[in-house]
Amino acid sequence: MNRFKRLLGGLAVSCTLAAPGARAADFPAKPVTIIVPFAAGGPVDIVARSVAVPMADVLKRPVIVENDAGAAGIVGSVKAMRAAPDGYTLLLGHAGTHAFNAALNPALQYRPIEDFKTVAMLANMPSILNVSAGSRFKDVKELLTYARANPKKLNFGSAGSGSASHLAAMMLIDATKIEVTFVSYRGSNPAFTDLISGQLDALFDTSAQAVPQVLGKRVRALAVTSDQRLPALPGTVTLAESCCKNLSLEIWYGLFAPRNTPDNILQTLEAAALASIGDPRYRATMQKANVRVPELAKAGRQEFEAVIRRDLVRFGDLAKRTEAKVE
């Protein structure tokens, strides 16, 4: 918390002093753009648009959200990596773009740590295991029993390679040693459409995407991947309760800048981001979307980078054990 106060204290100063290495006389002197490497309306987009409002107030400049989707977030991530390192173009990435993609794809066009600078962690989202409202599976045990008796006959949806739904499914497969058939989609919406119609047997997706579908009784939630049950779905068990004692997963979301961005600009952006996730408007939006806001003391640049380094190892090991590949 003391470090957060120091960052906020220096924000007013750093916003008015010249930025070494930057062409602008001060920072920020114009709008800041956040690239979202996925389609509008998804979890990453929700976080970006929610944080953009308080960040604009703190920076006293517009913060623009730009969707540049494609290839499991790779297209937008590469665009952000190649942007001028002046603080005016940021990326909102997540555990998929900056940990799981690297584990799945040795030829990935960017290096999560070397090609980016962390700014701040913004959110954490558990995933939910869903089946259709009319599914034969009433709980996780029934689903796993069927999968073990019928290898590869269970159709598991995925919102795309490297997505939260893909990662959660791979963790369950690794923990339970089941064999399923993956059906990959371009995003959550078409996957949910097929799940609702019964063409898919099961689908993991983030709480922000899945809870409205569950509450609308279009799908049935079997389990959540967080350590604790979700307040919005108190009757839905955790995976740890239902089948896998030590299995938990929350997808982190955060801001990144190109690797050569000057440190004093990064400090300004970090302070603005931390102030924004403490803003009541942001917190209310995240609560409504069933998203957890990280503690300020664990959301800064250094802490965020440590989480990424940990998950690069964690998900790399997962990909090797499951022989997961780019879909």
- Domain range list for the chain: 2-125+251-322, 126-242
Say yes or no: do domains 2-125+251-322 and 126-242 share a fold: yes
CA angle 35, 248, 202 (to 5 degrees): 80
Per-residue pLDDT of the chain (327 residues; tens, 9 = 90+): 555 555 655 554 444 443 344 444 489 999 999 999 988 888 899 999 999 999 999 999 999 999 998 888 899 999 999 999 999 999 999 999 999 888 888 889 999 999 999 999 999 999 999 999 999 999 999 999 999 999 999 999 988 777 788 889 999 999 999 999 989 888 888 999 999 999 999 999 999 989 999 999 999 999 999 999 999 999 999 999 999 888 889 999 999 999 999 999 999 999 999 999 999 999 999 999 889 999 999 999 999 999 999 999 999 898 888 876 555
88 burial type by CB count under 10 A (0-12 exposed, 13-18 middle, 19+ buried) = buried
- Torsion angle of C-alpha atoms 315, 200, 141, 221, degrees rounded to 10: 80
**Token pair in block for residue 282:** 């942001």
Residue indicated by tokens 């990935």: 108
Asked whether the bond before 190 is cis by omega within 30 degrees of 0, the reply is no
How confident is the model at residue 13, as a pLDDT? Answer: 45
How confident is the model at residue 161, as a pLDDT? Answer: 76
Contact 130, 210 (CB under 8 A): yes
How confident is the model at residue 15, as a pLDDT? Answer: 46
| Summary count for the chain: helices (H), strands (E) | 13, 9
By C-alpha distance, which of 67, 64, 54, 118 is closest to 256?
A: 118
Assigned CATH topology for domain 126-242: D-Maltodextrin-Binding Protein; domain 2 (3.40.190)
Instruction: Quote the CA–CA distance of 172 and 316 in Å, as a whole number.
Output: 15
Cα end-to-end span (Å), the chain: 42
How confident is the model at residue 104, as a pLDDT? Answer: 83
How confident is the model at residue 128, as a pLDDT? Answer: 96
How confident is the model at residue 107, as a pLDDT? Answer: 87
174 burial type by CB count under 10 A (0-12 exposed, 13-18 middle, 19+ buried) = middle
167 burial type by CB count under 10 A (0-12 exposed, 13-18 middle, 19+ buried) = buried
CATH 3.40.190.150 applies to domain 2-125+251-322: yes
Contact 159, 166 (CB under 8 A): yes
Instruction: Quote the CA–CA distance of 81 and 73 in Å, as a whole number.
Output: 12
- Grouping H, G, I as helix, E, B as strand and the rest as coil, residue 221 is strand
Reported as half-sphere exposure (CB side, CA atoms, 13 A), residue 174 has a value of 20
How confident is the model at residue 162, as a pLDDT? Answer: 75
Residue indicated by tokens 């700014």: 119
pTM of the entire structure?
A: 0.87
**Token pair in block for residue 173:** 């497969």
Instruction: Quote the CA–CA distance of 244 and 314 in Å, as a whole number.
Output: 17
How confident is the model at residue 236, as a pLDDT? Answer: 97
Instruction: Quote the CA–CA distance of 176 and 317 in Å, as a whole number.
Output: 16
